[in-house]
Amino acid sequence: MRAVIQRVTQAKVEVAGEVSGQIAKGLLVFLGVGREDADQDVQFIAEKLVNLRIFADENDKMNLSIKDVKGEILMISQFTLYGDCRKGRRPGFDAAGEPARAQELYEQTIELIKQQGVRVQKGIFAAHMHVSSVNDGPVTFILDSSRLF
């Protein structure tokens, strides 16, 4: 699994003109599921999202997690994180997970995060979405459950 994580002061996602998810302070997470991903990838990503210390403490140091600041997560499915742009002009998506399995792992990730007491809003899987946010910092990180980076 791959995730692009942005620390935000607010974020929302709209589908067909309707808001499907909206948060205040927290994390906007774009999550892609790969063809080879399994339960251990879900565990890794969920644990990282809940415990990653990327919010400022009283000394303005990144020392607090989403749980510490009682923030929220807006989770957006994004298969294009597995787009391969190394050859040609059109990305290839051979490494992206099959839609049914990808949705299952996406939903599992959300449930694991909720079980740890973090409020999660989400987009609609496989829908055309409009996402807006105010990045705080800006602070943006990339995670890969295969630990490629």
Catalytic residue, chosen from 9, 80, 109, 140, is 80
Residue 52 lies in a domain: yes
Can you give the pTM of this predicted structure? Answer: 0.96
Residue 109 a catalytic site member: no
Q: pLDDT (tens digit, 0 to 9) for every residue of the chain, 149 residues total?
A: 999 999 999 999 999 999 999 999 999 999 999 999 999 999 999 999 999 999 999 999 999 999 999 999 999 999 999 999 999 999 999 999 999 999 999 999 999 999 999 999 999 999 999 999 999 999 999 999 999 87
Number of domains in the chain: 1
Largest CA distance in the chain: 48
CB of 128 closer than 8 Å to CB of 14:
no
CB contact burial 78-89 (16+ within 10 A = b; e otherwise): bbebbeeeeeee
Flag whether 67 is in a domain.
yes
- For 72, the domain range is 2-144
> What CATH number has the domain bearing residue 67?
3.50.80.10
**Distance (Å) of CA 108 to CA 17, 101, 115:** 27, 11, 11
Residue 149 lies in a domain: no
